[in-house]
């Protein structure tokens, strides 16, 4: 039973956690800070980021904290954030692509992409690429992409429906964004290996967790959904697969972690079996990568 008490000392390491102001992102950033890392809490809302950091400081961790303003729904804002990090730091040990939205009303990012796909996946693709020069400077740097069991619900990314070209289904759109993230994590590892890089790409999913990610779902519907599960975890436990993927010495590139309980709804970190044929499809992953490079203007490694 692995918990954050089993994390190694992270003194001297620099980490970025997106969406660190709430839920799983907050617990992830807090644990890294407690174990000695310098953590950059990258959030869209500066005030909420400051409030989260103030709350973390009360735990008197061994590391240090700072905030960064990051709007994953805007490629230009991602570039601004990344340039500020590239100017300030010479290395980056951990990038945890955690931030996300779920089942939002129909809408698009600044650049015209369906909101869930744009924020959950494309924004993180662009961010990872922009920060890659810092990641490749340190042997053993890790990129952790947070996916979801929802990725199992779809068999492909529909490239003809990434800008709300078709009738909007928020449930499907969320699943597509999470499948894209998983395909990205696996494809990034393949490309890192081909490039001979010392960076690894790992994926994680939290299981069923009570956070404010479901704020766009009517409360009665959300509670009905939770009632169907035998166990619903709190954010600290939902963060454990991400933390394991980010810090444990046994982790290898291309692995995927989730809870070890029934159907991976709850439990403690273990290798996930929620990997569909689509997630492993090399042709789909390559097409997604090429699409993402063209959409974001970012190419790496």
Residues identified as active-site: 174
Residue 197, CB-side half-sphere exposure with 13 Å CA sphere: 24
3-state class of 254 per DSSP?
coil
User: Which tokens belong to 25?
Assistant: 């992102």
Q: How far apart, in whole angstroms, are the C-alpha atoms of residue 256 and residue 271?
A: 6
Q: How far apart, in whole angstroms, are the C-alpha atoms of residue 245 and residue 257?
A: 7
Buried b (16+ CB within 10 A) or exposed e, 237-252: bbbbbbbbbbbeeebe
Start-to-end CA distance of the chain, whole Å, equals 35
Q: DSSP letters of 168-215?
A: --HHHHHHHHHHHHHHHHHHHHHHHHHHT-S-EEEEE---SB-SGGGT
Q: Is the peptide bond before 301 cis (omega within 30 degrees of 0)?
A: yes
Residue 1, CB-side half-sphere exposure with 13 Å CA sphere: 4
């Amino acid at each position: 039973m692995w918990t954050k008490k089993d994390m190694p000392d992270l003194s001297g390491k620099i980490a970025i956690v997106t969406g660190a102001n709430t839920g799983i992102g907050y617990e992830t950033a807090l644990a890294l800070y407690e174990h000695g890392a310098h953590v950059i809490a990258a959030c869209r809302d500066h005030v909420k980021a400051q409030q989260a950091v103030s709350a973390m400081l009360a735990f008197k961790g061994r590391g240090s904290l700072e905030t960064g303003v990051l709007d994953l729904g805007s490629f230009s804002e991602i570039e601004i954030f990344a340039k500020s990090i590239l100017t300030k730091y010479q290395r980056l040990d951990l990038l945890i692509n955690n931030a996300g939205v779920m089942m939002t009303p129909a809408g698009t990012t600044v650049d015209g992409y369906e909101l869930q796909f744009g924020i959950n996946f494309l924004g993180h693709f662009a961010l990872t690429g922009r920060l890659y020069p810092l990641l490749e400077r340190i042997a053993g740097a890790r990129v952790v992409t947070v996916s979801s069991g929802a990725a199992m619900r779809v068999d492909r990314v529909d490239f003809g429906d990434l800008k709300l070209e078709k009738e909007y289904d928020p449930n499907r759109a969320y699943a597509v964004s999470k499948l894209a993230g998983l395909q990205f994590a696996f494809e990034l590892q393949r490309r890192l290996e081909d490039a001979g890089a010392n960076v690894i790409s790992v994926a994680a999913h939290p299981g069923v967790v009570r956070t404010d990610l479901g704020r766009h779902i009517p409360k009665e519907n959300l509670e009905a959904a939770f009632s169907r599960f035998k166990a619903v975890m709190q954010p600290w436990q939902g963060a454990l697969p991400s933390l394991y993927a980010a810090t444990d010495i046994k982790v290898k590139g291309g692995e995927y972690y989730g809870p070890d309980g029934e159907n991976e709804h709850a439990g403690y970190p273990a290798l996930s079996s929620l990997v569909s044929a689509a997630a492993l499809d090399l042709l789909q992953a390559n097409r997604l990568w090429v699409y993402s490079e063209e959409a974001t203007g970012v190419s790496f490694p």
